[in-house]
């Protein structure tokens, strides 16, 4: 049975699209037929990060409006045979999405794919709502700072109350925490929240920690998902994330911490 | 996310009220002596609400024209607000005349009928109003067994509602309202979340959001939390925020919150 996974965060700029690109690539590298959908209609970025922006002819809105078939709009990834990209429209806005259209596309994709990764836009408006509504699992991307954690908390609340699984009274959406742009040095200096601090607030299982790295910016600019980088912490971290998602028991790397910021802030005991 | 700014509050209060003890049902005599007394201090009663105390004439059961008396009092600057005591018939007549019914204050200072004394006595007592709010029952102890049962407007006891129990995290932006009852939360309540209950609130986890108990004015409502890290605490509209942080003795610890007068007290749950 195909799984729908939403990559979401609430806050912008925390690494949703970077994660969508690397996570879907990682799933595909393991032999899973995977499609990644850009829900950020009007501000499409996924095609840039995946390096396929010059091959975009049709997009998700064309498919929803019935102008082209899904097959015509899907773009095959240049790095992985099992990976396809469904780009967002640059010229439309989020109102062009509707639940029936999205439901139809997902149903059709479920026939031929193992994993459907939905890259959510920031915010809690209709675009983000469409991306999360049909999710079976959610990767909540959070930076180690208070406002990002707060926004993730809000998204988790919406997932628990307004997703299809919540509305129809099914088993709740499975939630995973992914902490990105993590810098243990700054955590130790008390400038950032620690993973423990974040988990203490959000209370969902930790899927992985992606270290802060300049290579992410380079990868984005060159149109190569970070997971393909050689000798990179970030690539290793994303591979661990995919491994854990597939059920492997891997030790948590790139986390070295002492008592965190929040603990000091609240005084502890 | 923002709390609506309330347009009004219903609260109970204990106010001193002047009582005019009526010792006769002879309207002419009453008026004459009242006029005489009021002439001595013309401005003393300016717009003062007065409760007519009827216990001395309750047994006689005789009627009195309350509308006429109220109009006469108003001419002299006294504002008849309602009646205290009296027989059922007398109270019903007072209601028809547009007066309110005070619940009986404990019987005291009922002067003996004395022909030599002026038949009117004015003195101040503490009058305990009965609250008419959900969560309170309206039955006050009867202090005048000689009286027939009074036709009192007693607020019906509201139906008991089941306690609302939440066992999942309450996250920022979520608002939970336990209408007419108590709220129990078994999971974490995060900053930016709101718990509202007309009754008590219990949180058996860290509490970092807002807790608003006694939302409809129940001053007896209480809040209990296992880890006090709240942003805002409120009981019956009396609230507290923690700009300077939560007091050391309860921060992050089990705590209880209740109202004492108009002061919100936050105390450790264990000593």
Read off the pLDDT of residues A227-240 as tens digits, 9 standing for 90 and up.
Answer: 999 889 999 999 99
pLDDT in tens, A51-104: 999 999 999 999 999 999 999 999 999 999 999 999 998 888 778 899 999 999
Closest chain B C-alpha to A142 CA, distance in angstroms: 15
φ, ψ of residue B176 to 5 degrees: the values are: -120, 130
Binary contact (A266, B174; C-beta < 8 A): no
Closest chain A C-alpha to B200 CA, distance in angstroms: 24
Q: Which DSSP symbol is given to A96? A: G
Range name among A115-119, A166-170, B151-155, B206-210 with the lowest pLDDT average: B151-155
| Cβ neighbours of A269 in B, within 8 Å | 252
Q: Is ipTM strictly over 0.85?
A: no
Per-residue confidence (pLDDT) for residue B35, from 0 to 100: 82
B202, two tokens: 């219990």
CA distances from A179 to A30, A60, A141, A153, A210 (A): 23, 29, 6, 13, 6
Contact B136, B155 (CB under 8 A): yes
- pLDDT(B85) > 90: no
| Cβ neighbours of A153 in B, within 8 Å | 171-173, 190-192
Query: Whose structure tokens read 């393991």?
Result: A30
Contacts of A61 (CB under 8 A, 6+ apart): A41, A88, A89, A92, A96, A97
Q: Residue B181 region, left (φ>0) first, then alpha (ψ -120 to 50), else beta?
A: beta
φ, ψ of residue B241 to 5 degrees: the values are: -115, 170
Per-residue confidence (pLDDT) for residue B7, from 0 to 100: 82
Binary contact (B192, A150; C-beta < 8 A): yes
Range name among A226-235, B71-80, B208-217 with the lowest pLDDT average: B71-80
Per-residue confidence (pLDDT) for residue B104, from 0 to 100: 61
SS3 A259: coil
| Average pLDDT along chain B | 77
CA distances from A81 to A75, A86, A113, A115 (A): 11, 15, 13, 14
Contact A152, A11 (CB under 8 A): yes
Query: How much is the average pLDDT of B225-232?
Result: 96
> In angstroms, rounded to a whole number, what is the distance separating the alpha carbons of residues B260 and B222?
11
Query: How much is the average pLDDT of B236-254?
Result: 93
Give this prediction's pTM: 0.65
Q: Closest by alpha carbon to A80, among A104, A50, A38?
A: A50
Q: A with B: how many residue pairs have Cβ under 8 Å apart?
A: 42
Given pLDDT bands bounded at 50, 70 and 90, which one contains residue A262? low
Q: Closest by alpha carbon to A5, among A152, A115, A160, A109?
A: A115
Q: Which DSSP symbol is given to B81? A: E
Binary contact (B174, A161; C-beta < 8 A): yes
Chain A contact probe: residue of B166, B167, B170, B173 with most A CBs at under 10 A:
B173
Per-residue confidence (pLDDT) for residue B199, from 0 to 100: 95
**Percent of chain A whose pLDDT exceeds 90:** 86
Contacts with A, B 191-210, CB within 8 Å: 191-193, 208
A30, two tokens: 């393991």
| A115-119 and A137-142 strand pairing | unpaired
Query: How much is the average pLDDT of A116-126?
Result: 95
């Amino acid at each position: 049975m195909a799984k729908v996974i939403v990559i979401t965060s609430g806050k912008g700029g925390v690494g949703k699209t970077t994660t969508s690109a690397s996570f879907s690539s990682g799933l595909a590298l393991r032999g899973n037929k995977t499609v990644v959908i850009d829900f950020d209609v009007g501000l499409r970025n996924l095609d840039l990060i995946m390096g396929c922006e010059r091959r975009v002819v049709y997009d998700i809105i064309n498919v929803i409006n019935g102008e082209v078939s899904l097959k015509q709009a899907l773009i095959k990834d240049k790095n992985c045979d099992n990976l396809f990209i469904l780009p967002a429209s640059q010229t439309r806005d989020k109102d062009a999405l509707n639940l029936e259209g999205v439901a139809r596309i997902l149903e059709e994709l479920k026939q031929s794919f193992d994993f459907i990764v939905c890259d959510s836009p920031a915010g809690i408006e209709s675009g983000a709502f469409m991306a999360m509504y049909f999710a079976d699992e959610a990767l909540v991307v959070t930076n180690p700072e208070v406002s990002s954690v707060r926004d993730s908390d809000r998204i988790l609340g919406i997932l628990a109350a307004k997703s299809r699984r919540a509305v129809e009274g099914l088993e709740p959406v499975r939630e995973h925490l992914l902490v990105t742009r993590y810098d243990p040095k700054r955590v130790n200096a008390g400038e950032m929240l620690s993973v423990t601090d974040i988990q203490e607030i959000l209370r969902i299982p930790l899927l992985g920690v992606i270290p802060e790295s300049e290579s992410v910016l380079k990868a984005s600019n060159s149109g190569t998902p970070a997971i393909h980088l050689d000798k990179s912490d970030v690539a290793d971290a994303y591979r661990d994330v995919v491994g854990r998602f597939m059920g492997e028991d891997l030790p948590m790397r790139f986390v070295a911490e002492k008592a965190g910021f929040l603990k000091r802030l609240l005084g502890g005991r | 996310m923002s709390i609506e700014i309330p347009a009004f509050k219903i609260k109970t209060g204990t106010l001193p009220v002047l009582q005019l003890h009526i010792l006769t049902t002879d309207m002419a005599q009453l008026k004459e002596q009242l006029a005489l007394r009021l002439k001595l201090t013309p401005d003393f009663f300016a717009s003062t609400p007065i409760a007519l105390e009827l216990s001395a004439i309750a047994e006689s059961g005789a009627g009195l024209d309350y509308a006429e008396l109220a109009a006469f009092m108003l001419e002299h600057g006294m504002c008849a607000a309602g009646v205290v005591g009296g027989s059922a018939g007398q109270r019903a007549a007072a209601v028809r005349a547009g007066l309110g019914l005070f619940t009986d204050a404990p019987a005291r200072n009922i002067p003996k009928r004395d022909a030599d004394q002026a038949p009117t006595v004015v003195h101040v007592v503490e009058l305990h109003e009965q609250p008419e709010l959900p969560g309170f029952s309206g039955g006050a102890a009867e202090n005048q067994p000689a009286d027939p049962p009074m036709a009192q407007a007693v607020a019906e006891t509201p139906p008991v509602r089941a306690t609302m129990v939440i066992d999942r995290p309450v996250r920022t932006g979520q608002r939970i309202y336990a209408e007419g009852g108590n709220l129990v939360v078994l999971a974490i309540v995060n900053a930016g979340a709101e718990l509202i209950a007309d009754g008590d609130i219990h949180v058996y986890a860290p509490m970092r959001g807002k807790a608003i108990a006694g939302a409809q004015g129940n001053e007896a409502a209480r809040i209990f939390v296992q880890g006090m890290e709240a942003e805002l605490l409120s009981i019956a509209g009396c609230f507290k925020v923690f700009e300077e942080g939560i007091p050391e003795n309860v921060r992050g610890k089990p705590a209880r919150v209740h109202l004492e007068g108009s002061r919100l007290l936050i105390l450790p749950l264990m000593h």
